[in-house]
Amino acid sequence: MASVVSRANPLLRNVPHFITWRALEFRTICSGRLGFASLSEALGGEPSVAGTKVLETVTEEFEVGSRVITLETGKIARFANGAVVLGIEETKVLSTVASAKGNDVRDFLPLTVDYQEKQFAQGVIPNTFMRREGAPKERELLCGRLIDRPMRPLFPKGFYHEVQVMASVLSSDGKQDPDVMAANATSAALMLSDIPWGGPIGMIRIGRILGQFIVNPTMDELCLSDLNLVYACTKDKTLMIDVQAREISEKDLEAGLRLAHPEAVKYLEPQIRLAAKAGKGKKYYKLSMTSDRTLERVRELAEAPIEAVFTDPAYGKFERGEALDKITQDVKKVLEEECDEESLKVLSKTVDTVRKQVG
């Protein structure tokens, strides 16, 4: 460093202070931009950047099972239909929801749920050669199903537009299991979005140690628990029950279920308040509804043969399936002769509806 100073121009050492770059508040390339600093910066204030947009965030905070839970939106993934970050202590989960308004003819809801637990959430870099993580692990697939099961039935009947849910663990302190957090964050994101949905839902985990029930147990507490109950519900209906237990009695399980519902309902009101503050208006989506005329015509053609198949004990499992397929083909031939294009588009779904009504 001394050699560098000695080679510097000796005339620069005698430059008056009032014409130096520091005195003129001139920016160097190392500081990020070329040009003079603003007056506010020169006076020690915050830098003002033209076109800077301050992101408005909306937060709801509540308590479930002695743990403070926060719902936040407005800062991350603002281009998604709905996005919410749910946090418990240092564990944060981001859930985003996006939907496409397509005109494709479908007879099912193409709902995709991707749950991701990346190593960066715990501050770890993958030790593989490419420093990348591979395909989703089995746990991530199972957690995606855990989110899908209570969400899917609440979409409107005939809503067959593509919907994608992405739940990502942003940070983890190793205390909370993020799967239940991701489900509640997804419910909040759907409430904020413009996608029609019949929520909100609440999901809760109940554990038991030495006969005492624990709401939202930590990972360490789950290792000691003889019950791992995951319960999802709306305000007045049960949507999903997932239980792992070590030979507990039915009476104890019933007690856990009775505790789970009022605790899960505590998630609902904060989601409603968050949607009232920052939610979008619901858009109109074309519903693929079967017309009454189509349903009556297919019922007229298929109801009696389907009932005959179900009431005949001679049919086994595979024979019954082949007979139902033949009934569908017979109905299709009749509709093709009648040139009923509208009914042909929803034939399989309508025949399945008639089958459920008969069965």
Co-location of 263 and 308 in the same domain: no
What is the share, in percent, of the chain residues with pLDDT greater than 70?
Answer: 84
Q: Give the residue-averaged pLDDT of 161-188.
A: 95
Co-location of 121 and 23 in the same domain: no
- Predicted confidence at residue 153, as pLDDT, reads 94
Co-location of 138 and 174 in the same domain: yes
- Predicted confidence at residue 16, as pLDDT, reads 55
**Which of these three, 244, 278, 312, is where a domain ends?**
278
* Confidence band for 4, pLDDT divided at 50, 70 and 90: very low
Give the range of the structural domain holding residue 258, as residue numbers without chain letter: 58-278
- Predicted confidence at residue 13, as pLDDT, reads 55
- Predicted confidence at residue 44, as pLDDT, reads 53
Residue type, 140: E
Co-location of 198 and 259 in the same domain: yes
Q: Dump pLDDT digits (tens) for 286-340.
A: 877 777 888 888 888 899 999 988 888 888 889 888 999 999 999 999 988 888 8
Q: Is 284 inside any structural domain?
A: no
Co-location of 313 and 213 in the same domain: no
* Confidence band for 9, pLDDT divided at 50, 70 and 90: low
Distance CA 98, CA 195 (A): 8
Co-location of 16 and 109 in the same domain: no
Co-location of 141 and 102 in the same domain: yes
Co-location of 309 and 270 in the same domain: no
Q: Give the residue-averaged pLDDT of 332-350.
A: 85
Co-location of 250 and 139 in the same domain: yes
Co-location of 239 and 307 in the same domain: no
Q: Is 48 inside any structural domain?
A: no
Residue, of 206 and 125, whose pLDDT is higher: 206
- Predicted confidence at residue 40, as pLDDT, reads 44
Q: Which of 113, 108, 114, 197 is nearest to 161 (CA)?
A: 108
For residue 33, pLDDT beyond 50: no
Q: Where are the alpha helices (DSSP H) in the chain?
A: 2-7, 39-42, 138-151, 178-192, 219-224, 250-265, 268-278, 292-311, 317-337, 341-345, 347-358
Q: Which of 307, 328, 333 is nearest to 107 (CA)?
A: 328
Looking at the DSSP bridge assignments, the partners of residue 209 are 212
Q: Is 51 inside any structural domain?
A: no
| Rounded alpha-carbon distances, angstroms, from residue 86 to 116, 167, 182, 332 | 15, 11, 8, 50
- Predicted confidence at residue 42, as pLDDT, reads 45
Co-location of 117 and 217 in the same domain: yes
Q: Is 217 inside any structural domain?
A: yes
User: Domain holding 85: CATH number?
Assistant: 3.30.230.70
For residue 48, pLDDT beyond 90: no
Cβ-contact 68, 164 below 8 angstroms: no
Q: Is 53 inside any structural domain?
A: no
Count of domains for the chain = 3
What's the chain's average pLDDT? 84
Q: CA 206: distance to chain centroid? A: 21
Q: Dump pLDDT digits (tens) for 122-152.
A: 888 777 776 778 788 899 999 999 999 999 9
Q: Dump pLDDT digits (tens) for 236-277.
A: 999 999 999 998 999 999 999 999 999 999 999 999 999 999
Q: Is 67 inside any structural domain?
A: yes
Residue, of 7 and 183, whose pLDDT is higher: 183
**Which of these three, 278, 302, 326, is where a domain ends?**
278
**Least confident residue range of 23-37, 55-69, 172-186, 246-260:** 23-37
